[in-house]
């Protein structure tokens, strides 16, 4: 586990925190973590910035993680990420790559950890996804809740990245991030999930015949 400034995408925040803390101890670096179960608030960002600008003779790693970082919070952190104080490194911990603003993605390398908790996609083989399978999968979920829909969206994007059958660009991740936001704002889960899976299908690599 590297301790340089970066974005880490993982579903296991505590395991990631422990690994980074252990590596900092080995490297003789100071370590500060601020992890939130819900939203990372503006006051949390202000606390992190205050910590960052405290003078220190030692290298320090600041780990910030939450279920959700709003655009306001991510933009508030942008300046310190672009121009960090001396001897300070920032690691941002996200549940989903789709949550990350393009301005943040363009400034930090992204690490996708292997110890993520896998979603069960046995019913939805992403390597052989078709429009018929998309609609059948969504119908099989019945009255889908927003939280479950978000887990499926995030897991589907993660699995699609792993299987290598899809073409992704920055615009793709913006669309997936917008889908998660739509669920947070009360859009019908089945509609959003269908839209995301159809967008995924459009990104599927065509096989040479």
The architecture in CATH of the region 6-112 reads 3-Layer(aba) Sandwich (3.40)
DSSP designation for 99: G
Which candidate, 180, 121, 125, places its Cα nearest to that of 155?
Answer: 121
Say what the pLDDT of residue 152 is.
83
Name residue 202's beta-bridge partners: none
Say what the pLDDT of residue 34 is.
95
Sign of CA dihedral 157, 148, 118, 11: positive
Say what the pLDDT of residue 43 is.
95
Indicate the pairing of strand 6-9 with strand 88-94. parallel
Residues of the chain with pLDDT under 70: 114-123, 207-209
In the chain, residues under CATH classification 3.40.50.300 are 6-112
Residue 31 · residue 63 · CB < 8 Å: yes
d(CA 85, CA 54): 9
Write the pLDDT tens digit of every residue in 27-70. Answer: 999 999 999 988 999 999 999 999 999 988 899 999 999 988 99
Residues sharing a CB contact under 8 Å with residue 89, sequence separation 6 or more, in sequence order: 3, 4, 5, 59, 60, 61, 62
Q: Which residue has the tokens 């803390």?
A: 21
Say what the pLDDT of residue 25 is.
94
DSSP designation for 11: S
Burial of 98 from C-beta contacts in 10 A (0-12 / 13-18 / 19+): buried
Residues sharing a CB contact under 8 Å with residue 54, sequence separation 6 or more, in sequence order: none
């Amino acid at each position: 586990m590297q301790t340089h400034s970066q974005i880490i995408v993982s579903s296991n925040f505590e395991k990631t925190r422990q690994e980074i803390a252990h590596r900092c101890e080995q490297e003789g670096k100071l370590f500060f973590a601020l992890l939130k179960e819900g939203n990372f608030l503006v006051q949390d960002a202000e606390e992190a910035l205050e910590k960052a600008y405290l003078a220190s003779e030692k290298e320090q790693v600041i780990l910030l993680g939450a279920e959700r970082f709003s655009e306001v919070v991510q933009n508030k952190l942008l300046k310190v990420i672009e121009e960090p104080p001396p001897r300070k490194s920032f690691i941002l911990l996200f549940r989903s790559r789709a949550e990350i603003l393009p301005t943040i993605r363009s400034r930090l390398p992204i690490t996708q950890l292997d110890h993520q908790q896998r979603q069960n996609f046995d019913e939805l083989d992403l390597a052989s996804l078709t429009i018929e399978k998309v609609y059948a999968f969504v119908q099989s979920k019945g009255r889908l809740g927003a939280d479950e829909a978000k887990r499926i969206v995030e897991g589907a994007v993660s699995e699609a990245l792993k299987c290598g059958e899809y073409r992704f660009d920055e615009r793709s991740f913006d669309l997936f991030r917008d889908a998660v936001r739509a669920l947070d704002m009360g859009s019908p889960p089945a509609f959003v999930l269908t839209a995301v899976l159809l967008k995924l299908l459009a990104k599927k690599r065509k096989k040479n015949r």
